[in-house]
Structure 1
Amino acid sequence: MEPLSPKPALIEQVYDRLVEAIADGTLAPEEAVTQEALADQFGVSRQPVSHALALLRRCGLLVERGRRGLQVAPLDPDHIRDLYQVRTALDGAAAELAADRITRADPDARAEAQQSVEVGLRALHTADRAALIAADVAFHDALNRLSGNPVIVEIAALQWPHFRRAMGAALGDPGLAARYWQEHEAILTAVLAGDGSTAKDRAEAHTARAGAETWRRLCDAAKAA
């Protein structure tokens, strides 16, 4: 992990960098993290690191292990499965709402959703897991905002750190990653056509299938360990 530049909102920068590292496996489950080591790596004082670590504990990405200190939380397959079950309903609602209001949507928001698919397809060719995770989040976030429902955006945002981590377990498979982006294209096609029913069905099927596959992968990894 590279040092951070001395810009405002250092706490957010440290937090985002750590979420990314946990998501792509740079920081592995049960790996110890310390304020001192992270402050040295990022080239910042301990204060923003301390605040960022507190936020990561609060959202469940870090856990306290007594004398061993803070560690990256293990990936709980059942928790990820439960999150995906909720997200399936949210994604379906977001896609349907986005399709129903597409003619009234902000042109910039429409362009952003289309661009997110293009970015994801380019990331497929690089096999860069971090880029694929970021593109996946960007696509679904753009779709959520196209829905016009700020509550969907807010609920999803609270869980993105966990979903980014789950994506890291699945997007290492080039076949799965390619299929996910084909499904993203199909969802967006229905949204842009104003076909709410089809957009909802495709979004729900996509997220449910991704959740089931991620759950199986995490269970297999836990058994192997």
Structure 2
Amino acid sequence: MTDTLSTTLTSSPTERRSNQSDSLYETLTVGIMTGRIQPGDKLNELVLAEEFGVSRAPIREALRRLQEKGLVTHVAHQGVRVISPTLEDFLSLLDVREALEGMASRLAATEMASDELDRLADVVEQHGRELQRNPDGPYVQNDFDNDFHVRIARGCRNPVLTDLLCDQFYPRLKLCRTRHGLVKGRGLAAWNEHRRILAALMERDGDVAELLMRRHVRSARAALLSSVPGSNGRPPV
């Protein structure tokens, strides 16, 4: 049993099950996001209950929430499995991402406080230092709270858009990256695009910020396609 799960004893059995479900949900989400639980892996209620030392009820609730989030699916006669997104799924997410993040950037240009922009600039600078050590490497942002896109999504001050991006969209996008990998050599280009978006945000120019963010996502999509053998930069048929 994990330390978090072991501290969920409360006076109410209902509260205890709820706390256990929350802890399980977070633990399984992290496992899927980090690749410890791989796309296609089966999540068996009985096995998980034994592993974490809980009843099957909180396991079932955690799996239900993961399914709502689009991270797992129930397959007939097979049970619950982590989704294994296709390249087409990845490209479809990027199409939607362009629109949502473009809107978030436009709103963030006027809504983010000056100290938030300063912290965002610190994040970009930190990422730059990491890339200098490996210029040909990927632009990896494992810290969710210090992710460039997450900070903009939170700074747009639109709770519906923030929830769509941070709670529903980014986990599925990260799973796609886990499944298909990152594009080699894309890191430095992505960082420079982030710098230009940051400059537009600092200038409070929402139109330019949206335009640059849309270009950034389109560049990521093009880089992904170019890395697929035999695609010639075209979506698979």
1:98 Cα deviation from its structure 2 partner: 2.1
Alignment partners' CA distance in 1, 2:205 and 2:47: 51
Q: Is the 8 A contact 1:23 1:167 kept in 2?
A: no
Structure 2 residue aligned with 1:140: 149
Structure 2's unaligned 5+ residue stretches are 9-18, 231-237
Structure 2 residue aligned with 1:223: none
SS in 2 for 1:21: helix
1:67 Cα deviation from its structure 2 partner: 3.2
SS in 1 for 2:81: strand
**Paired residues, number:** 216
- Pick aligned residue for 1:109 from 116, 122, 128: 116
Q: Does 1:20 align with 2:30?
A: yes
1:137 Cα deviation from its structure 2 partner: 7.4
Alignment partners' CA distance in 1, 2:126 and 2:54: 31
| Between structures 1 and 2, the one with greater helix share | 1
**What does the per-residue CA deviation read over 1:60-94, in whole Å, with 9 as the maximum and x for residues that have no partner?**
32122333322111213223322221220121122
Alignment partners' CA distance in 2, 1:136 and 1:205: 23
- Pick aligned residue for 1:150 from 159, 164, 188: 159
CA RMSD in angstroms, aligned pairs only: 3.5
**TM-score normalized by structure 1?**
0.75
Q: Is the 8 A contact 1:94 1:144 kept in 2?
A: yes
Larger of the two Rg values belongs to structure:
2
In 2 relative to 1, CA 204–14 (structure 1 residues): closer, same or farther, beyond 3 Å? same
Q: Is the 8 A contact 1:117 1:181 kept in 2?
A: yes
Alignment partners' CA distance in 2, 1:179 and 1:170: 19
1:143 Cα deviation from its structure 2 partner: 0.8
1:47 Cα deviation from its structure 2 partner: 3.6
Q: In the alignment, residue 67 of structure 2 is paired with which amino acid?
A: R
Structure 1's unaligned 5+ residue stretches are 221-225
Higher relative contact order (CA 8 A, sep 6+): 1
Q: Is the 8 A contact 2:87 2:180 kept in 1?
A: no
**TM-score normalized by structure 2?**
0.72
